[in-house]
Amino acid sequence: MIPDSLLAVGQPPVQLSVHRTVPHHHSWIVLEILVFMFAGIPILVWLGKKYRRYRLHQAALEGLDSHFAQYDQALSEYNSYYRSLSPTLRRRFQLRVAEFMETKKFEYVDTTPEAAMPLLISAAAVQLTFGMDRFLLEFFDTIFVLRHDYTYGMYTVPFVGHVNRNGIYLSWDNFLRGFANDDDGDNVGVHEMAHALSYVNFNAQNNDGEDNAFKARFRVFSKIVHPIYEDMQQGGDNMLDRYAATNFDEFWAVSVETFFEKGQRMKEEMPVLYNALCELLQQDPLQQDKLLRKLEAA
């Protein structure tokens, strides 16, 4: 209420109050809108991602018990890395496989789908990322499964697998061969998943799968092992397949498949490379517990 004393001296209280308060009120509304746009919307997006991740985890968890024995049998038959895990880590591994499968569409090209295909392919990705927080390779929605070697684009040399922005491509017979002979350092599944992991973090721009902790470790890894790569490019010989000298991306992928399939020999003959990969992937395949640190989330 306006005091009577102001009215008595002829002040224009109504008009004066309107002109002083309304712009002030509008400025606060504008400010609140701007705050919401720059702070509120990102928070909502973050909460949305957290909720979707929670729902994905719950869906995988709910279906795991009914499929555990089936998955355990298939993974034990084909994947020696899985066979080496303790019961606790086996469950953790399976849960990650179930989540990975939930996030991917499997396209079968000139081949008949088999129940083992999505399970074993997802397991190859989980094996590589088992020590990491970010393991879903979110940038990739589709995995293409072909029966045999295939041609791609203008290339005349047959492919056994490759990765590009459209997806991850794998030839099934070569994939199975890689896991059937698990000590020759030749595993197309692990090799292509290594390419996919580096693609998500260094080639795909602004995607949900980026892992800043992995990227920081990879830069350290690159500095440590680059002398080995340079020596190979100059004709130096070591236990790695010569294909590793093609470029650093292939050096990385070949090193990873050798790390998992010839770990003991790599540790003895190339301890710098072995230890650098352990730190980068946050796991040591030669140890029973595998993980260098205990992660809170499966």
Note the pLDDT tens digit of each residue in 207-244: 888 999 999 999 999 999 999 999 999 999 999 999 99
Q: Is residue 204 predicted with pLDDT exceeding 80?
A: yes
What pLDDT is stored for residue 40 in this prediction?
A: 59
* Mean pLDDT confidence for 238-261: 98
Cα(149)–Cα(157) distance, integer angstroms = 10
Q: Which residues contact 285 (CB under 8 A, 6 or more apart)?
A: 81, 84, 259, 260, 263
Better-scored residue on pLDDT, 50 or 11: 50
Contacts of 124 (CB under 8 A, 6+ apart): 175, 179, 187, 189, 190, 193
Q: Which amino acid, 196?
A: A
CA 84 to chain centre: 22
* Torsion angle of C-alpha atoms 53, 282, 74, 142, degrees rounded to 10: 50
Q: What is the pLDDT of residue 182?
A: 87
Beta carbons within 10 angstroms of residue 286's beta carbon: 14
Could you report the per-residue pLDDT of 111-132, keeping only the tens digit for each?
A: 999 999 999 999 999 999 999 9
**pTM value surpassing 0.85:** no
User: Mean pLDDT, the chain, as a whole number?
Assistant: 85
Residues 6+ apart with CB under 8 A from 68: 91, 94
pLDDT score for 254: 98
